[in-house]
Amino acid sequence: MKRLILALLTMLVLTGTVCAAPAKYVALTFDDGPSGNNTEALLEMLQEREVKATFFLCGYRMETYPELVGKLREAGHELGVHGYSHTCFDVLCREELQKELQGTADQIREFGGTQPVLLRPPCGAWNESVRETAREAGLTVILWSADSLDWQGGEAEDMAQRVCDQAKNGDIILMHDMYAYSVEAAAQIIDRLREQGFTFVTVSELAELADCTMQPGDVFSQFSGAHAPNQGTVP
């Protein structure tokens, strides 16, 4: 009997070691801000849940709300370039692209005190000209792999369900810093995905967890290899 009990205990220990659920990471991103009260509400909600996100900011909006750029940075969020005017990049010439990127990066440095290294093209529109201009500007192009479709409007519950149904390890989640319902949807996404074992990190942290070195001009939509730091394998 003692041998049987010891054997069962050994099996439980080994099973727990081998079959432990792998770590799952996602990055929550917000485009088009800052936007006044909605940004303030996002900051409060994210702080309550101790989540750091990545915000891709528009130049013309930073001019209206420069103080919010500093607040986002002080709260530990990552700041990226979303262009000055929110014009789709694939219709711009190289000179216009350079102005869009450089002007927005300068504002992030001025108002946020940080050098941006990430670029989210408006509408997700990019081509080789955009990629080369981003490379020259020292920016990595970041797209997405899970879309809340909050820009279409609707119910926060539907947006959260849409993301939670498709979420996978290494996903970059697209949302917008423009609408009150996006704040509620983001809160639901965080709460529900955490219940499923996901951890929220910034885009740069997600890349690091995937052992991926982002280079200027590279284009990424997800980092599927994200894993816990120093995570080993069972021999």
Task: State the catalytic residues.
Answer: 31, 176
Distance between CA atoms of 112 and 57, rounded to whole angstroms? 11
- The DSSP 8-state label assigned to residue 20 in this structure reads P
DSSP 21: P
The helix-helix angle for 37-49 and 66-74 (nearest 10°) equals 0
Please give the distance of CA 72 from its chain centroid, rounded to a whole number: 14
Phi, psi of 142 (to 5 degrees): -120, 120
> Could you tell me whether strands 172-176 and 219-220 are parallel, antiparallel, or unpaired per DSSP bridges?
unpaired
b/e per residue 208-217 (b: at least 16 CB within 10 A) = bbbebebebb
Token reading at 118: 């990430």
CA–CA separation, 18 and 156 (whole Å): 38
Tokens (6 digits) for 37: 């009260």
Decide: 131 and 219 in contact? Cβ < 8 Å.
yes
